């Protein structure tokens, strides 16, 4: 009998432990579900931030492209506007019938073209007497002459043009020594 009482007490204690264990497992399960819900909420928040950032970046790229296109169109329009007086002078010069009239018309065109380039910030370079610079000049001929200094430009076949540090066209020259 004693053994039966012990078995009953042991069974009761085991049942009590099982109940406590079930309660702990239920609590652990609730805690895990709560943690999962919190993590899902954080994940959704991060997804939302990412999607917003991606949309903002797409909008930025589109606006940048549109601004670039508009700037290009404006630059072309401003350049053409500056070139129109040259076209007008060409029309006037073509109306001259005498040689002196044509010559003065051509000089007027050249002068207005130089003015346009100056307005656009384009600098002309490459004059006889300048020193040869391979970054700015293209030597197509070379002459040996002791009366000239080394690298001196003797003759310019085609003027060079640059805007700031950007070379638009290299000067084609004949250099000495």
Q: What is the dihedral of CA 94, 98, 99, 102, to 10 degrees?
A: -30
Helix residue spans in the chain (DSSP H): 2-94, 99-119
> CB-based contacts of 58: which residues, under 8 Å, 6+ apart?
none
Higher-pLDDT residue of 134 and 17 is 134
- Determine which of 15-24, 131-140, 161-170 has the lowest per-residue pLDDT on average: 15-24
Tell me the mean pLDDT in the region 82-89.
89
Is residue 14 pLDDT above 70, yes or no? yes
Quote the pTM value: 0.59
Higher-pLDDT residue of 37 and 99 is 37
Tell me the mean pLDDT in the region 84-95.
87
Q: Which residues pair with 175 in a beta bridge?
A: 142, 153
Is residue 36 pLDDT above 90, yes or no? yes
Give whole-number Cα distances, 138 to 59, 149, 157, 166, in Å. 46, 18, 10, 15
State the Cα–Cα distance between residues 73 and 80, nearest whole angstrom.
Answer: 11
State the Cα–Cα distance between residues 145 and 177, nearest whole angstrom.
Answer: 6
Asked if residues 158 and 127 have their Cβ atoms less than 8 Å apart, the reply is no
99-148 tens-digit pLDDT: 888 888 888 899 999 999 999 899 999 999 999 999 999 999 999 988 88
State the Cα–Cα distance between residues 139 and 107, nearest whole angstrom.
Answer: 28
> CB-based contacts of 171: which residues, under 8 Å, 6+ apart?
125, 126, 136, 137, 138, 153, 156, 158, 159, 160
**So what's the pLDDT on residue 158?**
96
Strand, coil or helix: 146 = coil
2-13 tens-digit pLDDT: 667 777 777 777
**So what's the pLDDT on residue 33?**
94
40-75 tens-digit pLDDT: 999 999 999 999 999 999 999 999 999 999 999 999
Cβ-defined contacts of 45-50 (< 8 Å, 24+): none
Domain ranges of the chain: 124-177
Is residue 153 pLDDT above 90, yes or no? yes
Q: Which CATH superfamily is domain 124-177 in?
A: Head domain of nucleotide exchange factor GrpE (2.30.22.10)
């Amino acid at each position: 009998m004693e053994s039966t009482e012990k078995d009953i007490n042991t069974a009761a204690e085991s049942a009590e432990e099982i109940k406590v264990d079930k309660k702990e497992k239920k609590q652990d399960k609730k805690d895990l579900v709560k943690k999962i819900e919190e993590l899902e909420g954080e994940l959704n928040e991060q997804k939302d931030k990412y999607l917003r950032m991606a949309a903002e970046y797409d909008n930025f790229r589109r606006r940048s492209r549109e601004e670039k296109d508009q700037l290009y169109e404006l630059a072309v329009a401003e350049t053409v506007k500056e070139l129109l007086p040259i076209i007008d002078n060409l029309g006037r010069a073509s109306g001259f019938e005498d040689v002196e009239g044509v010559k003065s018309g051509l000089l007027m065109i050249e002068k207005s073209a130089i003015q346009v380039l100056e307005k656009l910030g384009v600098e002309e370079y490459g004059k006889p007497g300048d020193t040869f610079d391979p970054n700015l000049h293209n030597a197509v001929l070379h002459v040996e002459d002791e009366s000239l200094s080394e690298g001196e430009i003797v003759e310019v076949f085609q003027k060079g043009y640059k805007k700031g540090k950007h070379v638009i066209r290299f000067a084609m020259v004949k250099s000495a020594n």
